[in-house]
Every structure is written in C-alpha cells, then in structure tokens.
Amino acid sequence: MALNKNEIAELYRKRAANYDLSANFYYLIGFREFKYRKLAVQQLRLKPGDTVVEIGCGTGLNFPLLVTSVGPEGSVIGVDLTDKMLAQARARVKRNRWTNVELIQTDASAYAFPDKVNGIISTFAITLIPEYKEIIRRGSEALAPHGRMVIADLRKPDRWPMWIVNFMVWITRPFGTSLDITLRKPWEAMETYLAKTSFSKFYGGFTYISSGEKD
C-alpha cells in the first residue's frame, strides 16, 4: 500500500543524511539512476537564462545539471516536501556557491507554479504524490510557449513475471515504492495536457522518461 504524505516525509527525513550514498546501491543491480537523470535534463532542452522548476528536488542531485543548463543568468527552483532533504540541498547550493537556486518547502500539490517557466522536471518523485495528475495539469498551464515538462520515474513493466515485479518493488521500498505506485501513469496525464509528447522505457521497462511540450 502506498505511504501517505506524513509517512513519506518521515521516511525521507530519516534517509536525508545518507540519501545520495544509499541511492548508489542500485548501481550494483545495473540501475543507472544518474544516467536517467541526465537524459531527463537533456530532454528539457533548456537554454541560458531559462527558469526551471524541479518537483521533488530532494537533496539537489539534479542541480549541477540544471544550473549548468540555465547558466548564471537563469533560475532553478527546487520544491520538496521534506525539511531535512532540503537542508541537504541547501548545503549543496552553499558548497557550490550557486546564487540562482531557490528552495521551497511545500507539498507539491499545493505549489503555485510561476508563470511562463521554461521547464518543469521531476525525477523519481512525482509518482509518490497522489495528486500527480493535478500537478501535471497546473504545471502545463504555467509553461511558457514551447516550454517543456519531463518526468523520469518507475513503472510496472508490461511483461515481467509478478515475482520479479514484487522483488523490484521490495528492493526499492526504502525509497517509498509500492506496487500501487508503480501502476500510476503520469505520462498519460502529460499526453492529455501537452503536445509533442514522447515516452521511452529503460531498465527492462521498470523505468521511463516522458516529455512533453506546450504549444
């Protein structure tokens, strides 16, 4: 059963200090998380001076990629539910002396997107949020013309035996994964609200990257 928001917040409070290190564990089973993050950021097609919002920014693992893409004249806005994850993100920003990164602690379902943002991204986060469809709808409305939204996350593979699916859910449970969460389909909401959508599967279909552009 999916964790509720209080349970998610508490889970990530406990994992915050060691989140970056523990995420590397999945490299041992061939799950190349940073590769998928990099591909997702590339699909935003950001330019210097752009503004990008990250939903579920966590400790800021994507910030180096995003800051490089928008340049010093651009802006990165990181949104996350959990205070201790944002504390790690804030420390990352300070270490790198980034002056164009803004951090906001809020439930993403209540977040008011700025008008005319150039990009919105979420990697391994939005599927945890029950209101993901509404977030995608409001995000699509906030995009500037030709602005792009990209989501990388987990899904239930179409042809995997259930014992393998259950094993993968179990092994990613420390990050809040459950079987019902893998059945959520954010890419379908993107196809509803955005144009020029694409959908690519990775890691045997357990991971995907979906993108869309506003007309």
Confidence of residue 28 (pLDDT cuts 50, 70, 90): low
Type of residue at 43: Q
Compare 158 and 113 and report the one with higher pLDDT: 113
Read off φ and ψ for residue 53, nearest 5 degrees: -110, 130
Residue 198 has pLDDT above 80, yes or no: yes
pTM assigned to the model = 0.94
Q: CB 46: neighbour CB atoms within 10 A? A: 24
State the architecture of 5-213 in CATH terms. 3-Layer(aba) Sandwich (3.40)
pLDDT per position as a tens digit, 159-192: 889 999 888 888 888 888 888 888 899 999 999 9
Rg of the chain taking only CA atoms, in angstroms: 16
Read off φ and ψ for residue 160, nearest 5 degrees: -75, 140
